[in-house]
Amino acid sequence: MTGFIRDLLGKMMPPPGGIDCGGVLAQLYEYIDEELDDPATVEKIRKHLQVCKRCYPRYDFEKAFLRFVSELGRTSAPAELRGRIFQNILEEESQN
> Is residue 47 scored above 60 in pLDDT?
yes
Query: Taking a C-beta distance cutoff of 8 angstroms, is the pair 55, 24 a contact?
Result: yes
Q: What is the pLDDT of residue 3?
A: 61
Task: Please give the mean pLDDT across all residues of the chain.
Answer: 86
> Is residue 8 scored above 90 in pLDDT?
no
Q: What is the pLDDT of residue 43?
A: 96
* For the chain, domain boundaries: 3-95
For residues 73-88, b (16+ Cβ closer than 10 Å) or e, as one string? eeeeeeeeeeeeeeee
pTM: 0.63
Confidence of residue 17 (pLDDT cuts 50, 70, 90): confident
